[in-house]
Amino acid sequence: MTKKETNETFQSEQGIHTDFLEKMTYGDYLQLDTLLGSQKRLSNHHDEMLFIIIHQVSELWLKLIIHEIKAATIAIQQGKLQASFKMLARVSKIQSQIIQAWDVLSTLTPAEYMEFRDKLGNASGFQSYQYRLVEFVLGYKTPHIMKIYKKDEELYTILKDAYEAPGLYDVSIQALAKEGFTINKDVLQRDFSKTYHKDTSVEQAWLEVYKHKEKYWNLYQLAEKLVDIEDWFQQWRFRHMKTVERIIGHKTGTGGSSGVGYLKKVLDHYFFPELWEIRTKL
């Protein structure tokens, strides 16, 4: 488009607002001065900007995932399963975005990363409190992790509340019980600060849901939404592991973890084990 054509197009849009001396702008609403001023490199290396932005963008997506899962959890508790489906479907779409972020980060080569890695000190994605919140709302509780956040009392309280609260799968199991399925009382009354482990009564309930999906259509849809989230989460974990391996090999992580070794271990964990077990038994 030529400059003349651009001017003509702009002039044809007579309703466009241009006077913002006393009005809120797009940048004001999104607080772009703060957002875009938050990329502070500790080195002069060109690729540190990539490293910072990828992680900041991922944290924003994690914030939205937490927002949606918490709302979906409340909706399920209130029996509003249809409302929860929209939120859980959105979570899956968000997950696809953070998975693709690893493709961008993988353009960082080992030689380039080594030129500024020492500037990170002991800071590591392992310490991401939002990632821990996602694990907590999905039901994966690890007590030793809480020690990382004791220096910030307000943050520690937020994490502790999520740590002790029922997760997304807990309220889904409660929904099974409300529908009339017989669920082990130890499961329904369990200590939510403990990581969930599979139970035969829960497996039998989901098996019935899948065998008679027309009768239990809402629960069937809920189950598939949960499987979607777990599937995408495992893909995210795998891409994380392979990106780390590609960039630093099997070095120890800056936060002190075993790096690739640790990331491989968590690949074997399931948030919703019965929903995967029944696929063999159907």
Top mean pLDDT of 123-137, 142-156, 177-191, 240-254 is at 177-191
- The first and second tokens of residue 171, run together, are 């309220």
Is pLDDT above 90 for 37? yes
pLDDT at 7 over 70: no
Contact 80/218 with Cβ under 8 angstroms?
no
Euclidean distance between CA atoms 7 and 1, whole angstroms: 10
Annotated binding site for substrate: 51-55, 113, 117, 254
Q: Which domains does the chain carry? A: 45-280 (1.20.58.480)
Do the beta carbons of residue 72 and residue 87 sit within 8 Å?
A: yes
Q: Tell me what pLDDT residue 221 has.
A: 98
Query: Is the model's pLDDT at 208 over the cut of 60?
Result: yes
Which pLDDT value is given to residue 146?
87
pLDDT at 245 over 70: yes
- pLDDT of 16 > 90? The answer is no
Residue 5 banded pLDDT, cuts 50, 70, 90: low
What mean pLDDT, rounded, does the chain reach?
92
Q: What is the DSSP letter of 16?
A: -
- Residues 60-96 have pLDDT tens digits of 999 999 999 999 999 999 999 999 999 999 999 999 9
Detail the residues annotated as belonging to a binding site for heme.
240
**Tokens coding 255:** 């936060």
| Residues of each annotated binding site | 51-55, 113, 117, 240, 254
Whether 158 contacts 131, CB under 8 Å: no
